[in-house]
Structure 1
């Protein structure tokens, strides 16, 4: 996301604190999805299967998918699948290999999302599916293929989502009140910003860089 782009543009992605930021962001997303799954399951009361068993199965599935992402996907896609795809004509806008890669991405997205839907939330599967293409070569090509095919749809879907949910669910009168502003400021400065700024006291001189980076990828994103 935004943290990866900023670190890459600044040329510090390979630094120790750059790797710490990316690792923390990755773990943060995973824990958030696990907690979201558990809390969402508690909505109708405590159910051992939904609250305990399904998250454990989901974590096991995620670990298995991570193993596939590192050891199977590069071999299957880069060494076996894509070399079998014939090249497109000179006037083609998209290479057939990229089309095949995008098809695999969508298939995995739907498949993983469906599996984790029955375990609590489809978002977990979407995250795992995206992670599955991180080890392909050349580095970053899978991300380029995905963005090229989905950026316009994603942009419009984000606009529609926020305009049809947040825009109509928050009363403007209460939002602009002094009480809301004060409470929001306290929550934003304290639990949201300050806890992240002070999250890496053991990282030496880069501790505040890491802290503000975590703020940037969340509150400022």
Structure 2
């Protein structure tokens, strides 16, 4: 029996979302280039989604797209677009318009609120074994607890909080779904990269007095902050 030439399967991927708050392509390009220069291993050739909720059709979309591509980032879609002319321009550029999870589609007429949905409780994902280099663990819609060491080159991703009760040398990305109240708790912090809801530090940005120590990371006034974990 011959094998089918293609197979369609559902899957999920964690993508960085770039929120554009400036209409000048040169300003955006320089800001993105600065971010790429800070973490080239994390952002080089990275696929990204652009959120254009703050932009309208007055922006020069062709130049904006070229400016972002010049930093090495690959645009895979656009979200948050509410300006109809801009939607058409983006569509003509061949980019898909995406809806983020928290966006709600509204009809042209009266808006009828959807009835509340009772969601089943989500169990925290617990990893008891060492996380080796090259491994990626994703805790979808829940917290992630690792009770062992995490090697350099390993990656922990969670839509909720991340707890590491061991040596942490890899990458930890909490709040991957955009929840800015998430935190990272670590008993021995020597990470390559830490991120909460897209705000990140690479190893060189972690304050020296916290390196190798029990630490807690969270967002405060929109910026990543760190304190001793008591």
Which structure exhibits the higher relative contact order, with contacts defined as CA atoms closer than 8 Å and separated by 6 or more residues? 1
Which bin holds the TM-score, normalised by the shorter protein? under 0.3
Task: Name whichever structure is richer in helix by fraction.
Answer: 1
Normalising by structure 2, report the TM-score.
Answer: 0.22
Normalising by structure 1, report the TM-score.
Answer: 0.23
